[in-house]
Amino acid sequence: MAHDDGGGPAAGPGTPILEIRDLVKHFPLTRGVLFRKQVGAVKAVDGVSFDLHQGETLGIVGESGCGKSTVARLLVGLERPTSGQIRYRGEDISTLSARALRAVRRNIQMVFQDPYTSLNPRMTVGDIIGEPYEIHPEAAPKRDRRRKVQELLEVVGLNPEFIHRYPHQFSGGQRQRIGIARGLALRPEIIVADEPVSALDVSVQAQVVNLLEELQREFALSYVFIAHDLSVVRHISDRVAVMYLGRLAETGTQEQIYDHPTHPYTQALLSAVPVPDPDARTHRDRILLAGDVPSPANPPSGCRFRTRCWKARQLCTDVVPPLDVPEEFRGTASPAGHASACHFAEERHVVPSE
Ligand SMILES: Nc1ncnc2c1ncn2[C@@H]1O[C@H](COP(=O)(O)OP(=O)(O)OP(=O)(O)O)[C@@H](O)[C@H]1O
Ligand code: SF4
Ligand SMILES: [Mg+2]
């Protein structure tokens, strides 16, 4: 299948396809029925910045409630940001009119977490995969749609004859393939996959991840791949962003994050990743996180991780640590020289490298 360009100026080499700057999404907390009064806000996303380059996979990882799905929904235009920028090929799409945004959204599609609930049980697979053509009729003339849907079924490894079946006639893995086919229907450049394998059996997860990797090569896709577990994104990600309570804690290449983490939160997450080799397991440094994630309606001052951090000092309460390369590593080739939002960032080897 040819990749038809959805338009827009071509990004030069090295220009990110997506640039996210200071992205904020606050959901108002209201009280009262008749006179709804805002009494606060859930700071679901609170100043997130990152780039996505053409053809790369950025993994976003963090515990439940840290704002991953909200970031995903902002990127694909399902939510409007409170403030901040989402630049697609250099153009800020967060302030576009609904009509202009619709055209851009063809190029940024989402694959949802739960294939059991995200597919309408009353629609045939053909109608589900072809639904994006109803919203963007210019993408495929009516007479071509059936053929296109059958091609998409084939591309995701399903029998094109299944076009008249219903979601309940498929397994979880097959349903996620249907969700992926729908995400591909408009030939997007970017796919935001929000925990695409979290609801699947471990044995099926690898198959779906492999499919996503094959599709990336075939269609030159760029991925934002979200997971709550660092082990899931390890092999698919070129770069990884670790998220905590609405902010990014640490970003770096796959190797930097897994082998040279400098943020205590990343180190704690990594130490909890299952290690299959029993020998390696005995050598790992297990960090048990104390306490729960604080409420995003009332996040701690300074460093948001300080209520659970074993290294916290007064500075962590008083000053927000910027997401930056630690000073001692700036300009060096050290793998620890990547962005970490910690006043006392330092390497700690938590798991034996592969
Ligand atoms: N529409 C909304 N209105 C109010 N609060 C919301 C809304 N959507 C999300 N939130 C809140 O924002 C925070 C972040 O939610 P989000 O779904 O983005 O987290 P997540 O990292 O995807 O979590 P999970 O791993 O459970 O999917 C949570 O506290 C959630 O309750
Ligand atoms: S800034 Fe302080 S509280 Fe935050 S992660 Fe670093 S040491 Fe811990
Ligand atoms: Mg989520």
pLDDT (tens digit per residue) in 92-150:
998 888 888 888 889 999 999 887 788 999 999 999 999 999 989 999 999 999 999 99
Rounded to the nearest 10 degrees, the angle between the axes of helix 202-219 and helix 172-184 is 20
Domain positions in the chain: 262-354
Going from the Cα of 268 to the center of ligand 2, the distance in angstroms, rounded, reads: 12
User: Quick one: which atom of ligand 1 is closest to the CA of 67?
Assistant: 18
What digits encode the pLDDT tens for the residues 33-67?
A: 778 888 899 999 999 999 999 999 999 999 999 99
User: Which range among 10-24, 169-183, 225-239, 253-267 shows the weakest confidence by mean pLDDT?
Assistant: 10-24
Going from the Cα of 293 to the center of ligand 2, the distance in angstroms, rounded, reads: 15
Number of H helices, E strands in the chain: 11, 10
Rounded average pLDDT over 6-29: 76
Q: Which ligand sits closest to the CA of 194?
A: 3
| 294 confidence band (pLDDT: 50, 70, 90) | very high
Q: Is the pLDDT of residue 15 over 60?
A: yes
251 three-class SS: strand
User: Quick one: which atom of ligand 2 is closest to the CA of 345?
Assistant: 6
Q: Mark the residues whose beta carbon lies below 5 A from ion ligand 3.
A: 68-69
Ligand 1 pocket member 246 (CB < 6 A): no
Residue nearest ligand 2's atom 3 by CA: 306
- Residue 348: which region, alpha, beta or left (left: phi > 0; alpha: psi -120 to 50)? beta
Place of tokens 């701690």: 300
Ligand 1 pocket: which of 39, 42, 228 to mutate (most atoms <8 Å of CB)? 42
Rounded average pLDDT over 341-347: 95
Ligand 1 pocket member 43 (CB < 6 A): no
User: Which range among 40-49, 170-179, 286-295 shows the weakest confidence by mean pLDDT?
Assistant: 286-295
Question: In this structure, what token pair is assigned to residue 187?
Answer: 């030939």
Contacts of 172 by beta carbon, 8 Å cutoff, 6+ apart = 115, 116, 199, 200, 201, 204
Place of tokens 């082998």: 259
* Mean confidence (pLDDT) of the chain: 90
Q: Which ligand sits closest to the CA of 43?
A: 1
Ligand 1 pocket member 16 (CB < 6 A): no
Residue nearest ligand 1's atom 8 by CA: 70
Ligand 2 pocket: which of 305, 313, 319, 327 to mutate (most atoms <8 Å of CB)? 305
